[in-house]
Amino acid sequence: MLNFIIRKIIGSKNQREIKRMMPVVRRINELEQQYQSLSDDDLRRMTSEWKERISAIEDHDARQKALDEILPEAFAVVKNTARRLCGRMINVVDHPIEWQMVHFDVQLIGGMVLHSGRIAEMATGEGKTLVATLPLYLNALSGRGAHLITVNDYLARRDAEWVGEIYRFLGLTVGIIEHDQPPDVRRAQYACDITYGTNSEFGFDYLRDNGMATSREQQVQRGHSFAIVDEVDSILIDEARTPLIISGPATVSTHQYDRFKPLIEQLVRKQTMLCNRLVTEVRELLDKGDTEQAGRALFKVKLGEPRNKGLLRLMEEPETSSWINRSCLFIRTRKKTRWSR
């Protein structure tokens, strides 16, 4: 009851977060109205200047701070671009579609949430495809690439051709990672400012780059700076149950296995030879009646190689099996007594 009253007075955590972002939303809308008087080239010039300045910042934290500072202006540029595209016919997956989308406040809020690295849950009809254009554009200004990870090839191509018109209008490049693309084509797509693709294609390219490529020139991905995961519950939970498996000739070993395998094999071989020699000595000692030395030797064999064939054959002989067990038990007891002192 108390929690219900508190939520009624101060709102839920989600409501408080939205309330905190509303001043930024109002600032974006104010800037967007001002930008309506600018020319198309003015918007492209702003994009170019931001990208040149921010891409030169090497420190990650400083670069992130610079992106946060221009967020209202960058979002306003994207919204204004969407407004300028209204009425234009765009060819999307071989079908002409008239652009009729302009960002609403709820989409501006969703864009801020995604830029901050959190999950934005959008209801049906709230235009999540348009939401992603805001943080993708902003983070593409870092010059290090921004990725949109979706669930199938159709959506990747559709979104890249559809909302990608915003980025192309502003002078940014858009790439699509599709199945069966050769490495040089994939490398060119990853070199774009914004790249669309499926989770499996991004995942397999990462595995190939880090497991099969023998040089930097053979790798296709240029790095990982910012990514948005569409249908995050499906990709990170449902799709994650199916592992990505890739096979091919191992040209360069990334593990210590090849280094230590010969050493271990040599150690095992020498240990087997030693245990075989000890078993032979046991038989000679038994023939001489030296049971104490024979027991010590057998104890070493049992510790070093319990499945030694010579030891197993001795254990199968009725006249020696009981003696062997008594000798090993006697030696083990003496060792424990010595350690306890």
Q: By the 8 A CB rule, do 300 and 282 touch?
A: no
- Give residue 164's domain range: 2-241
Any domain includes 224: yes
**CA nearest to 43, candidates 89, 80, 69:** 80
Of 207, 241, 275, the residue that ends a domain is 241
Instruction: Kindly indicate the confidence band of residue 132, based on its pLDDT and cuts at 50, 70 and 90.
Output: very high
- Whether residue 229 sits in one domain with residue 103: yes
- Could you tell me the strand order of the sheet in which 146-150 lies? 174-176, 194-198, 146-150, 226-229
**Per-residue pLDDT at 338:** 47
- Whether residue 60 sits in one domain with residue 10: yes
* CATH number of residue 220's parent domain: 3.40.50.300
**Per-residue pLDDT at 341:** 44
- Whether residue 310 sits in one domain with residue 186: no
Instruction: Kindly indicate the confidence band of residue 322, based on its pLDDT and cuts at 50, 70 and 90.
Output: low
- Whether residue 154 sits in one domain with residue 110: yes
Any domain includes 84: yes
How many C-beta neighbours within 10 Å does residue 292 have? 11
Give per-residue pLDDT as tens, 39-72: 999 999 999 999 999 999 999 999 999 999 999 9
- The total of structural domains in the chain comes to 2
- Whether residue 144 sits in one domain with residue 13: yes
- Whether residue 183 sits in one domain with residue 107: yes
- What does pTM read for this prediction? 0.69
Higher pLDDT, 162 or 252: 162
- Please provide the average confidence, as pLDDT, over all residues in the chain: 85
Distance, in Å, from the CA atom of 160 to the CA atom of 165, rounded to the nearest integer, reads 8
- Whether residue 208 sits in one domain with residue 179: yes
| Phi, psi for residue 15 in degrees, rounded to 5 | -65, -35
For the ranges 25-34, 151-160, 240-249, the one whose mean pLDDT is highest: 25-34
Any domain includes 113: yes
Any domain includes 246: no
Any domain includes 73: yes
Instruction: Kindly indicate the confidence band of residue 336, based on its pLDDT and cuts at 50, 70 and 90.
Output: very low
| Percent of the chain topping pLDDT 70 | 87
**Per-residue pLDDT at 108:** 96
List the helix and strand counts (H, then E) for the chain.
17, 6
**Per-residue pLDDT at 250:** 54
**Per-residue pLDDT at 240:** 77
Of 241, 270, 285, the residue that ends a domain is 241
How is residue 329 written in tokens?
Answer: 């038990």
Q: By the 8 A CB rule, do 78 and 103 touch?
A: yes
Segment 222-248 mean pLDDT? 84
- Whether residue 121 sits in one domain with residue 97: yes
Any domain includes 249: no
pLDDT of residue 234 exceeding 70, the answer is: yes
Question: DSSP character for 89?
Answer: E
Q: By the 8 A CB rule, do 147 and 206 touch?
A: no
**Per-residue pLDDT at 340:** 45
- Whether residue 150 sits in one domain with residue 40: yes
Q: Poorest-confidence range of 14-28, 79-93, 109-123, 238-252?
A: 238-252
- Whether residue 216 sits in one domain with residue 97: yes
Distance set, CA 23 to CA 26, 34, 46, 72, 190 (Å)? 5, 17, 23, 10, 36
Any domain includes 164: yes
Segment 78-98 mean pLDDT? 94
Give per-residue pLDDT as tens, 269-299: 988 888 888 888 888 887 777 777 877 887 7
Any domain includes 250: no
Q: By the 8 A CB rule, do 164 and 72 touch?
A: no
Instruction: Kindly indicate the confidence band of residue 304, based on its pLDDT and cuts at 50, 70 and 90.
Output: confident
pLDDT of residue 321 exceeding 70, the answer is: no
- Whether residue 118 sits in one domain with residue 20: yes
Segment 298-310 mean pLDDT? 79
- Whether residue 168 sits in one domain with residue 102: yes
Of 190, 206, 241, the residue that ends a domain is 241
pLDDT of residue 195 exceeding 90, the answer is: yes
